[in-house]
Amino acid sequence: MSGRRMLVGGNWKMNLLADEVAGWLDGFRSGLEEAGALPADVIVFPSALWIPRVAESLADTPAACGAQDLHPAASGAHTGDLAGPQLASAGCTWTLCGHSERRQNHGESDDLVGRKAAAAIAAGLQPMICVGETGDERKAGRTFEVLDRQLAAALAREPEPFTLAYEPVWAIGTGATASPEQAQEVHRHLRERLADRLGDEAAATRRILYGGSVKSANVAELAAQRDIDGFLVGGASLDPDEFLAIIGGCG
């Protein structure tokens, strides 16, 4: 494990109804009080509908609220989209950019992800830039090629500060998880690419998260890897007790 402070994000995706959100927040706040000091920084990424509610509930806790996506424009005729300034005014301090489900389901290009990351910075939000390869790309030996391409486009407009999240597409929502050795190999590669761009010192302090069927049962082994600085958690974050157990496993 590195000396960098760990970071854990919980991505609710398109889940939870109003009463379930209330129950989650009650359970999470109660768990935070019992846990005391946390071994990691925490961000919750709710569905856009629940951002104001979550942000208000978490305002007096160590946890931050983030958005799952944003539009690259600051305002305009973009029906159904949300702009960075709107998200910031609703209580967000972070946003995901380029999650694999956005890339796959909405056809988001590498260039668009880069523009979204720049828009986040302009709105005072910190982007968590997601990169990752599909199963076919890994089998073809193209993992590093794909990551290098995604990373170069995402950072083309120099969105500082930013955090990276490596999410192997083949492990998201499938129950499959990259082995600690596989995850470490990719995280080390990403840190080397960051060193090429930012310099060794800046790359050494940059947090790179792992996302891909993370659970309390496997978090400690993954967290022990030198270049893994935390986790972007999907389905497991819908259970506040399991989410808190994952956070605790970072210690």
Q: The domain spanning residue 34 has which CATH number?
A: 3.20.20.70
Q: What is the mean pLDDT of residues 29-50?
A: 96
| Residues with catalytic roles | 99, 167
Instruction: Convert the pLDDT of each residue in 128-139 to its tens digit.
Output: 999 999 989 999
145 within a domain of the structure (yes/no): yes
222 within a domain of the structure (yes/no): yes
Instruction: Convert the pLDDT of each residue in 186-197 to its tens digit.
Output: 999 999 999 999
Q: 187 burial class (0-12, 13-18, 19+ CB within 10 angstroms)?
A: buried
Q: What is the residue whose two structure tokens read 């960098």?
A: 4
Q: Which domain holds residue 137?
A: 6-248
230 within a domain of the structure (yes/no): yes
34 within a domain of the structure (yes/no): yes
Tell me the CB-side half-sphere exposure of residue 75, using CA atoms within 13 A.
3
Q: What's 134-151 look like in SS3?
A: CHHHHHCCCHHHHHHHHH
CB neighbours of 51 closer than 8 A, spacing ≥ 6? Answer: 65, 67, 87, 90, 91, 92
pLDDT at 27: 98
pLDDT band at 177, cuts 50/70/90?
A: confident
229 within a domain of the structure (yes/no): yes
188 within a domain of the structure (yes/no): yes
Q: What is the residue whose two structure tokens read 């590498």?
A: 110
Tell me which of 31-45, 116-130, 165-179, 232-246 is least confident.
165-179
pLDDT at 3: 79
1 within a domain of the structure (yes/no): no
173 within a domain of the structure (yes/no): yes
In the chain, the number of structural domains is: 1
Q: What is the mean pLDDT of residues 115-143?
A: 96
